[in-house]
Amino acid sequence: MQDWQRVLDTSERLRSLSVADFPARPSHSTVALVHPRFFDRTYVINPHMGGRVDREQAREQWDRLRTVLERHAADVRVLDPAAVEESLGDRDVPPPETQPDMVFVANHAIPTPDGQGVVLAQMSTPERASEPVYFREWAEQQGYSVGPAPTAAFEGAGDAVWHPSRRLLWGGHGVRSDPAAYDELAERLGAAVVPLELTDDRYFHLDLCLLPLSETAALVQPGAFTPAARNKLEAVFETLIEAPADEALDSFAVNGAVMDGTVIAGTGAPVTTGRLEAAGYDVVNVETDEFLKAGGSVGCLTLRLGTPD
């Protein structure tokens, strides 16, 4: 095992390394989306869920997001739950219309470092437990190699966030994902993993409070983390841009996607947008109000993948 290839659980250990000590990782230029035809808010499994979803409006917002992504990403691929259901045949899987959160594809899996495969999620709530079955079927159809989920709870790229261009994985835990999953992932992915403990169930996934912008900068909401976790972030990133707590909670200001230096995010976070633009980033805002009613925005709706051979 290489010196960097381990679970790095202290800021002191991180400060002894530089970003350049971690092997390079190719950029993932494909974006996966899930068609929102079955999206709704029919149960409550996080503190943000509430209100009646306007499904027609949700579809319009998703269409606009797809259009924006197609302008910035090399390849956008859409998982249609209805089509995947047909290919699943008579397997004992709940129908997609009973899984209204499937649109939040970030939670289904995490890409392997080379981007040619994925490791499936092990969802922590029974309401979403079957979603990765659909993603597995679709990913195999697309030509990706698919690895089984860790044995412990692990909610995919919602909690496991790759450091830009490096074989370094930030691993959120404490609300949904189990820290034991990262011991397994470090070995299976051949990567360094930095566990980050979340302390507030309003930030139930890491992608609600951490968005890496580049190898040296990230957008964060520091109140979501323990002091030890904040120290780890400060040990690696030269610049941490803080999103105000009200914008991170009310508008999911941190839950965005970064495409070639452009930050794609929801609306309603003017302070965060101003701070990003002052730091030199282009920001494109897309309305995601209907998806906020279920606890997700741009980051939850997208999953970065590589291109399979």
Catalytic residue ranges: 205, 300
Q: H-helix or E-strand containing 212?
A: strand 210-212
**Contacts of 71 by beta carbon, 8 Å cutoff, 6+ apart:** none
Rounded CA separation 289/276 (Å)? 21
Q: Which amino acid is at 99?
A: Q
Six-digit token string for 189? 């992915």
Q: DSSP string spanning 235-268?
A: HH-SEEEEPPHHHHHHS-TT--EEETTEEEE-SS
CB-based contact 206:160 (threshold 8 Å): yes
**Contacts of 228 by beta carbon, 8 Å cutoff, 6+ apart:** 10, 11, 197
CA-wise closest residue to 29 among 75, 79, 65: 75
- Ranges of H-type helices in the chain: 11-15, 55-72, 81-88, 131-142, 180-189, 227-236, 245-250, 270-278, 289-292, 298-301
